[in-house]
């Protein structure tokens, strides 16, 4: 099967949405590159689980906000599995505490920008030559609901700016690489938290979420199955898109809290 010869890199994949995506792609026959920063135990446990599915899998420590570690990540993949055919940029720092921009430190600003935008761009830049050579590739970025609208998002200034910039980069790269058989899309998950990130749809179908227009919370499977579709060889006509997978929820709160 053609897909069994392909390798998928999922950044930030020891836990959460990245883990669910890795498992689903492994079940489809892709070799998997797991990536982690601190979750070594979880990464190697997942590696063993994936290998039992009959595909090759490696786990590589690398912080996508640091250029030298991104380069080492790509080099390790090339040495052990060959070049990556699919790159899913799931990793990206997020500060959940609601905070005005003026209250961020310089270090936090640069970390958020590097982890959510420039690190993603550098990783794409490193893998594109091999994808072009093969005439096939899939690049998937992660955003947030309604990122393509570029609206104000108080208390999330740095994260929002990085992801909105990534929307433009996604669309531009999709146009530039289309003739080389490489698709580039963005998946925008809803507010999926905690253990729900590693659950299947049937696990949450009977749960109630009062904030969701759909009425139920999202699950990791909701996101992974969209990525699975985008990675399929027949999905080559789907490129340059931002796909909201949010159950209709708008995560952006445009009012500034006074508390």
Q: Give the CA count within 13 Å in the CB-facing half-sphere of 20.
A: 22
Q: Tell me: the pLDDT tens digits for 13-63?
A: 999 999 999 999 999 999 999 999 999 999 999 999 999 999 999 999 999
253 assigned to some structural domain: no
169 assigned to some structural domain: yes
Instruction: Give residue 130's Cα distance to chain centre.
Output: 20
Domain extent, residue 226, equals 2-243
193 assigned to some structural domain: yes
Q: At 205, give phi and psi (nearest 5°).
A: -65, -25
150 assigned to some structural domain: yes
What is the distance between the alpha carbons of residues 147 and 151, in angstroms, rounded to a whole number? 8
250 assigned to some structural domain: no
| Residue 77 tokens, joined | 């993949």
> For residue 5, what pLDDT is reported?
74
Nearest CA-CA partner of 35 in 24, 19, 56, 20? 19
Domain containing residue 167: CATH number: 3.40.50.720
Domain count, the chain: 1
pLDDT tens sequence for the chain (259 residues): 444 579 999 999 999 999 999 999 999 999 999 999 999 999 999 999 999 999 999 999 999 999 999 999 999 999 999 999 999 999 999 998 999 999 999 999 999 999 999 999 999 999 999 999 999 999 999 999 889 999 999 999 999 999 999 999 999 999 999 999 999 999 999 888 889 998 898 988 888 888 888 889 889 999 999 999 999 999 999 999 999 998 888 877 666 655 4
> For residue 258, what pLDDT is reported?
56
CB atoms near residue 125 (< 10 Å): 12
16 assigned to some structural domain: yes
3-state secondary structure (DSSP) of residue 64:
coil
Predicted TM-score (pTM) of the model is 0.93
254 assigned to some structural domain: no
* Cα separation values, 58 from 7, 26, 38, 73, Å: 11, 12, 16, 11
186 assigned to some structural domain: yes
């Amino acid at each position: 099967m053609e897909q069994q010869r392909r390798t998928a890199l999922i950044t930030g994949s020891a836990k959460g949405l990245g883990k669910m995506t890795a498992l689903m792609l492994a079940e489809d026959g892709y070799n998997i590159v797991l990536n982690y920063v601190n979750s070594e135990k979880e990464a190697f446990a997942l590696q063993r689980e994936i290998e039992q599915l009959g595909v090759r899998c490696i786990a590589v420590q690398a912080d996508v906000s640091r250029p030298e570690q991104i380069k080492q990540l790509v080099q390790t993949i090339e040495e052990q599995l060959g070049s990556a055919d699919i790159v899913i940029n799931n990793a990206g720092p997020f500060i959940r505490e609601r905070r005005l921009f003026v209250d961020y430190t310089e270090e936090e600003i640069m970390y958020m920008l590097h982890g959510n935008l420039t690190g993603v761009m550098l990783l794409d830049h490193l893998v594109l030559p091999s994808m072009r050579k093969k005439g096939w590739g899939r690049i998937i970025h992660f955003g947030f609901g309604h990122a393509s609208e570029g609206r104000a998002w108080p208390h999330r200034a740095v994260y929002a700016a990085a992801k909105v910039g990534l929307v433009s980069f996604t669309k531009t790269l999709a146009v530039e690489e289309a003739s080389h058989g490489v698709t580039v899309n963005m998946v925008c998950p809803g507010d999926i938290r905690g253990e729900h990130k590693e659950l299947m749809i049937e696990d949450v179908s009977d749960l109630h979420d009062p904030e969701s227009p759909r009425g139920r919370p999202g699950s990791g499977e909701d996101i992974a199955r969209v990525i699975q579709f985008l990675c399929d060889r027949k999905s080559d006509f789907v490129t340059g898109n931002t796909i909201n997978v949010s159950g209709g929820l708008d995560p952006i709160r445009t009012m500034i809290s006074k508390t």
